[in-house]
């Protein structure tokens, strides 16, 4: 198998300078899509718990689904910092749409970082660019207690073909995706921790519903459960063990882009609060409303949240460019990554809650232009995406062995 050690340095070197120079223009376009498409349908998507088809179609038209694909395959070649800024921008307008985009980008990163030595996946990356295919993830499994490093199902190989059946309690937007990246044991006799990452394409699997998706927040992600029965070619198995993919890519990339989109949701809540305070200020010209003090306080927390996200994003990007998988594997970076997730998932609730207090009953009402109902319900979902208690316990274990400065 090709190891991630030799693959990671190549990821960022494929980014072309002209793309970086035009990024501000791209981000302006993303905000336009947010205003004209995502924001227009966000409340309907939330109310009906429906897939934000209009949003994803607009992203496809803008070629955003291949933004992280290297330029040699026709993609934009953006880095993790730039992808995070796109996720934050989308989060300003629709949390569910932003979450779908972020989770798609995580899957793209797994292929870009760990499968470019495979001719099958090189062809796939070109197809992803041409067709703007939407990728989803099937990593959780009934019976593992949410442990991504453990699988019950196993891939069965016969010659050049494989079959696998997995009971996944959650596959975000699985019914609407084009391709799935699925985890399983590397064989029927393999231990639970010896996993592989396998791509299955629409038409190569049957998904039988296990559960529905009627939740408080992130309702448009349509994260129902399915039993996935799939078949395909052994070329579709990523050539890097899943344990390395999880440590080097999925874990840090997920927490960074999730933190970014949560920052976008929080920023929009602060913008709502700012608009409310301005409306109040117009009633008493020359006098600053007392609520402006609370606005200044919550803006400070938002700044800290954003700073934390992009601080780790830049650190991860530098490690990728420098080819430092050992440091990414290390306890220090893993703890900082986990701390980012813990901090952001707590800060978003704090920020939206403070914005709600500023807006008062206008923020509490569903029929108000200052409504923060959707923001607050989405905010509380952040702590449950890889439960914060599990992450805190893992950090406690690592801290016992970690020496500061290493």
Average pLDDT over residues 296-323: 97
The pLDDT of residue 405 is 59
pLDDT, tens digit, for every residue of 59-73? Answer: 999 999 999 999 999
The pLDDT of residue 406 is 55
Q: How far apart are CA 338 and CA 364, in angstroms?
A: 32
pTM: 0.93
63: left (phi over 0), alpha (psi -120 to 50) or beta: left
DSSP H or E stretch at residue 200: strand 195-201
Please say if the pLDDT value at position 54 is more than 50: yes
The pLDDT of residue 284 is 87
pLDDT, tens digit, for every residue of 291-300? Answer: 999 999 999 9
CB atoms inside a 10 Å sphere around CB 303:
11
Please say if the pLDDT value at position 32 is more than 90: yes
Please say if the pLDDT value at position 17 is more than 80: no
Q: What is the largest CA-CA distance in the chain?
A: 79
Helix residue spans in 167-247 (DSSP H): 242-245
Instruction: Please report the domains of the chain, with CATH numbers, ordered by start residue.
Output: 4-133 (1.10.540.10), 137-236 (2.40.110.10), 242-401 (1.20.140.10)
Residues sharing a CB contact under 8 Å with residue 122, sequence separation 6 or more, in sequence order: 73, 116
The pLDDT of residue 3 is 33
The pLDDT of residue 287 is 86
Please say if the pLDDT value at position 6 is more than 50: no
pLDDT, tens digit, for every residue of 123-172? Answer: 999 999 999 999 999 999 999 988 999 999 999 999 999 999 999 999 99
pLDDT, tens digit, for every residue of 225-271? Answer: 999 999 999 999 999 999 999 999 999 999 999 999 999 999 999 99
């Amino acid at each position: 198998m090709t190891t991630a050690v030799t693959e990671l340095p190549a990821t960022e070197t494929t980014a072309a300078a002209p793309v970086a120079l035009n990024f501000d223009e791209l981000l302006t376009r993303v905000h336009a899509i947010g205003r004209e498409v995502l924001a227009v349908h966000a409340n309907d998507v939330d109310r009906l718990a429906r897939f934000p088809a209009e949003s994803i179609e607009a992203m496809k038209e803008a070629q955003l689904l291949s933004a992280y694909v290297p330029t040699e395959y026709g993609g934009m070649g953006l880095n993790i910092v730039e992808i995070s800024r796109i996720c934050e921008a989308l989060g300003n307008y629709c949390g569910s749409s932003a979450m779908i985009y972020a989770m798609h980008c995580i899957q793209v990163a797994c292929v870009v970082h760990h499968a470019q030595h495979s001719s099958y996946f090189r062809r796939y990356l070109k197809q992803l660019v041409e067709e703007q295919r939407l990728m989803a993830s099937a990593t959780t499994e009934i019976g593992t207690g949410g442990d991504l490093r453990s699988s019950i199902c196993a891939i069965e190989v016969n010659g050049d073909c494989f079959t696998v059946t997995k009971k996944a309690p959650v596959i975000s937007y699985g019914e609407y995706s084009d391709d799935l990246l699925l985890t399983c044991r590397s064989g029927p006799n393999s231990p639970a921790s010896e996993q592989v990452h396998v791509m299955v394409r629409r038409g190569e699997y049957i998904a039988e519903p296990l559960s529905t998706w009627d939740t408080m927040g992130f309702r448009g992600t349509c994260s129902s459960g399915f039993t996935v029965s799939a078949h395909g070619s052994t070329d579709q198995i990523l050539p890097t063990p899943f344990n390395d993919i999880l440590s080097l890519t999925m874990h840090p990339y997920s927490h960074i882009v999730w933190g970014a989109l949560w920052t976008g949701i929080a920023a929009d809540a602060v913008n709502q609060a700012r608009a409310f305070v301005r409306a109040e200020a117009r009633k008493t010209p020359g006098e600053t409303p007392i609520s402006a003090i609370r606005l200044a306080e919550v803006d400070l927390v938002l700044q800290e949240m954003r700073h934390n996200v992009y601080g780790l994003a830049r650190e991860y990007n530098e490690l990728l460019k420098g080819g430092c998988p050992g440091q990414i594997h290390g306890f220090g970076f893993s703890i900082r990554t986990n701390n980012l997730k813990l901090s952001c998932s707590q800060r978003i609730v704090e920020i939206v809650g403070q914005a709600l207090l500023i807006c008062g009953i206008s923020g509490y009402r569903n029929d108000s232009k200052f409504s923060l109902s959707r923001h607050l319900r989405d905010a509380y979902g952040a702590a449950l995406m890889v439960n914060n208690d599990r992450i805190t316990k893992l950090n406690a274990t690592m801290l016992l062995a970690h020496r500061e400065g290493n």
